[in-house]
Chain A
Amino acid sequence: MSTERIYIYKRFERFWHWSQALLISVMMVTGFEVHGTYTLFGFGHAVQYHTLAAWTLLTLWAFTIVWQFTTDEWRQYLPTLKKVDAMIRYYAIGIFHHAEHPFRKSAEQKHNPLQRLAYLAFLSVMSPIIWGSGLLYLFYADWGAFGLDRHLSLEWVAFGHTVGAFMILSFFFVHVYMTTTGHTWYAHIKSMITGWEEA
């Protein structure tokens, strides 16, 4: 067996990823309770946990953004259309008959072209929708002070927030599934825990 291993995910990156995973999960569970989909913690607690998780994640992101730029890791999210067609062909057909994965991970290029596009969509579409509407929601009481109450209604802000939530929930399911498509079902998950990718 080949034992070639490369160190891909650094310690902070792994900490960031798993904290974020936990916080987003908490926010999805509590968010849909606030939305009225089910009762779990009780409305009051759901709002409390949701808000707490949101502030925690914002803080985490503040550190992460600094980390991304100081380490130059932000380049990992630059989109490319190169090999995207090959990636799509692989997941649609190749994966079912032992085709070789068209992308090889390296410390310089952690994400395959499809991942880059997906994460870019997360950053540029879902994130602004969920954070924009979420912060407006959170500061609903202060709309008047900024003259926003004439242009906004809570109903539409909540609508936008829910749109973002559905997008992220869909992203979440596909993302989690994709992590199981490595050479073993747990290979990707393991490397996100240890940082080492077995090539």
Chain B
Amino acid sequence: MSSRLKLALAALAAGTLLASLTAVAMPAAAPTSAVAAASNSTADHSKFKALQQPFKTGPEVTKACLGCHTEAAKQVQHTKHWTWEFTDPKTGKKLGKRNIINNFCTSPISNEKDCMACHAGYGWKDSSFDFSVEANVDCMVCHDTTGTYRKLPGDAGHPVYQRREFPPGSGKFVEAVDLRKVAQSIGKTSRSTCGSCHFFGAGANGTKHGDLDAALQNPDKYLDVHMDRKGLNFTCATCHQTSGHQVAGSRYEMAAAVTGPAHMRGKADAEPASCQSCHGDRPHPAQLAKLNDHARKVACQTCHIPEYARDAIGTELSWDWSQATKMGADGKPVAAKDSAGRRAFDSKKGAWVWDSYVVPEYRWFNGEFAYKTLGDKIDPSATVEINHPGGSPAAADSRIWPLKIHRGKQAYDTENNILIVAHTAGEDDTALWHNYDWQKAIGTGMKAAGLPYSGKYGFVSTEMSWPITHMVAPKGDALACHQCHSENGRLQGVAGVYLPGRDRPRMLDMIGWTIVALSLGGSMMHGILCVLFRRCKRSKQA
């Protein structure tokens, strides 16, 4: 062997070693489990001719997807992810984001350009959006595996086509999405894709749900026993089993009291996204049978999610819109954060209260909320329940559920007594966040919503309930018996059930202890008299 060849071989070996070391030291940037899941797919999308073109827009990618997945867009168009609407099968009432005025950002109407950053579609910028155009379905927002697909407020649901500063004036830049790369890396949904909207509801990480925030992208066992990245590593879809793009498990059609044994996978299943669908309704071992008995009255979540927002991100507990448009001392808009660095005030939006590790509030709940929707009359003299949890202690379909109750003050029409849709987002003259003028913002918003406006507005206290069902704690962190079975315990305010340790008839206690005291006192008195007389010993001689 010539010395030159030896040298070449040695260099090759060294190079290989170096390359493998580098690979170990610098793992691929995307840590999501979806990448691994996609890798065992039978299709390598990067090899598909249709995906090897320089895509300029989202709809161009969708058209390429539909070339093979011919029914996908039609399926998506039948889901809430597309329509933002849900018709309550019992009442016929139209619900969903299009019809409900919540007490966070209130309503997407007239604010579509911003809000539709979380629509699974492209181009919903106002009421003229055509829901039948298949190319406007956004496949990538749910199926991206690269973690690079970004949709920003202002683009009506389109991804970032050009590098731009966001938030404006922040000095931070968002890169343009490489659509071809995203399209070629397409795969299953992941905690990251679902979370890109659901963790950020109401505009910021953790704001809305309380049991969903970005910590769930990569959670440990403490935060979620099922999603634990080193353990079961569930994705959202593990429980929210999807069929034909219909995602199971929704606040609008909840099963609050599932009974019976665990369900066989593959069988037609009305509610696969419940605890019971895997665990059954008597999940504890025989020696803990008493806990199983609780399942008739108590939702699993009540004990097994002892607190929500169990991380530093926290969640928003209240939003006071009546503080919006208040300016700083110099007359200019101001913003402030709380001691944990979470938003506390902004002249655009008002005042907030946030917290972490929040103890839920508990209510009887049968899975059905009675919603106030667009144009429904309210009673401004009392706190308005935007969604009232149905259910009662005696009903077989009701359980004691943990809720996050988000409280707020929001605008209403003081003459018509209806909640207001305000035009908040945008760069035009009537947008509240641009011009700080409620009258103009309300005028535009109510017109877009097709609602009457008297010209007079005020602020009313509202509350909105969110069932807590994620962030399931390891069993060691579940509630202990005494946390409910005690005075001033977790369930202090929950009526309609006799709770040993919390409830006892006061009159009986009074009479009972009196009799016990008389027995004990009488005996002692008798004994004292004996000792005093020193004659209590029975005389054997007598």
- Chain A residues engaging chain B, CB cutoff 8 angstroms: 2, 34-37, 39, 42-44, 47, 91, 95-101, 140-141, 153-155, 158-159, 162-163, 165-167, 169-171, 173-174, 176-178, 180-184
Q: Which of B282-334 contact A (CB under 8 A)?
A: 289-290, 292-293, 296
Chain B neighbourhood of A34, CB < 8 A: 485, 500-501
Whether the Cβ atoms of B535 and A97 lie closer than 8 Å is yes
Jot down 21 A-B pairs with beta carbons below 8 A, ordered by A. Answer: A34-B500, A36-B485, A36-B504, A43-B501, A96-B533, A97-B535, A98-B538, A99-B542, A101-B538, A141-B289, A158-B498, A159-B508, A169-B516, A170-B515, A170-B516, A170-B518, A171-B519, A174-B522, A177-B524, A177-B527, A183-B537
Whether the Cβ atoms of A170 and B519 lie closer than 8 Å is yes
Q: Determine the distance from Cα of A169 to Cα of B511 in the docked complex, in whole angstroms.
A: 13
Chain B neighbourhood of A182, CB < 8 A: 538
Query: A26 to chain B: closest CB distance in Å?
Result: 17
Q: Determine the distance from Cα of A155 to Cα of B487 in the docked complex, in whole angstroms.
A: 16
- One of A96, A162, A181, A184 near B508 (C-beta < 8 A): A162
Whether the Cβ atoms of A96 and B530 lie closer than 8 Å is yes
Which of A2, A100, A154, A166 lies at the interface centre, i.e. has the most chain B CB atoms within 10 A of its CB? A166
- When C-beta atoms are compared, the residue in chain A nearest to B541 turns out to be A98
Given contacts A158-B498, A166-B515, A166-B516, contact A98 B539 (CB under 8 A): yes
- When C-beta atoms are compared, the residue in chain A nearest to B487 turns out to be A36
Q: Determine the distance from Cα of A2 to Cα of B539 in the docked complex, in whole angstroms.
A: 12
Whether the Cβ atoms of B523 and A35 lie closer than 8 Å is no
Q: Determine the distance from Cα of A141 to Cα of B297 in the docked complex, in whole angstroms.
A: 10
Which of B293, B523, B529 lies at the interface centre, i.e. has the most chain A CB atoms within 10 A of its CB? B523
- When C-beta atoms are compared, the residue in chain A nearest to B526 turns out to be A177
Chain A neighbourhood of B377, CB < 8 A: none
Q: Which of B100-158 contact A (CB under 8 A)?
A: none
Given contacts A47-B481, A99-B542, contact A173 B487 (CB under 8 A): no
Q: Determine the distance from Cα of A44 to Cα of B303 in the docked complex, in whole angstroms.
A: 14
- One of B502, B504, B529, B539 near A100 (C-beta < 8 A): B539
Please report the total number of B residues contacting A with Cβ < 8 Å. Answer: 44
Given contacts A43-B481, A182-B538, contact A96 B512 (CB under 8 A): no
- When C-beta atoms are compared, the residue in chain A nearest to B481 turns out to be A44
Query: B298 to chain A: closest CB distance in Å?
Result: 12
Q: CB of B520 within 8 A of chain A?
A: yes
The dominant DSSP class at the A interface is: helix
Chain A neighbourhood of B498, CB < 8 A: 153-155, 158
Q: CB of B251 within 8 A of chain A?
A: no
Interface string of B191-235 (1 = CB under 8 A from A): 000000000000000000000000000000000000000000000
Chain A neighbourhood of B487, CB < 8 A: 36
Whether the Cβ atoms of B293 and A2 lie closer than 8 Å is no
Whether the Cβ atoms of B482 and A44 lie closer than 8 Å is yes
Chain B neighbourhood of A37, CB < 8 A: 509
Chain A neighbourhood of B539, CB < 8 A: 98-100
Chain A neighbourhood of B536, CB < 8 A: 95-96, 181
Q: CB of B493 within 8 A of chain A?
A: no
Chain A neighbourhood of B296, CB < 8 A: 141
Whether the Cβ atoms of A174 and B530 lie closer than 8 Å is no
Query: B246 to chain A: closest CB distance in Å?
Result: 35
Query: B208 to chain A: closest CB distance in Å?
Result: 35
- When C-beta atoms are compared, the residue in chain A nearest to B289 turns out to be A141
Whether the Cβ atoms of B523 and A184 lie closer than 8 Å is no
Given contacts A42-B481, A43-B485, contact A36 B500 (CB under 8 A): yes
Chain A neighbourhood of B512, CB < 8 A: 162-163, 165-166
Given contacts A96-B536, A97-B535, A100-B538, contact A181 B530 (CB under 8 A): yes
Whether the Cβ atoms of B293 and A173 lie closer than 8 Å is no
Chain A neighbourhood of B67, CB < 8 A: none
- When C-beta atoms are compared, the residue in chain A nearest to B515 turns out to be A170
Q: Determine the distance from Cα of A93 to Cα of B524 in the docked complex, in whole angstroms.
A: 16
Q: Top 7 nearest A-B pairs by Cβ distance?
A: A166-B512, A177-B523, A141-B293, A44-B481, A170-B519, A43-B482, A155-B498
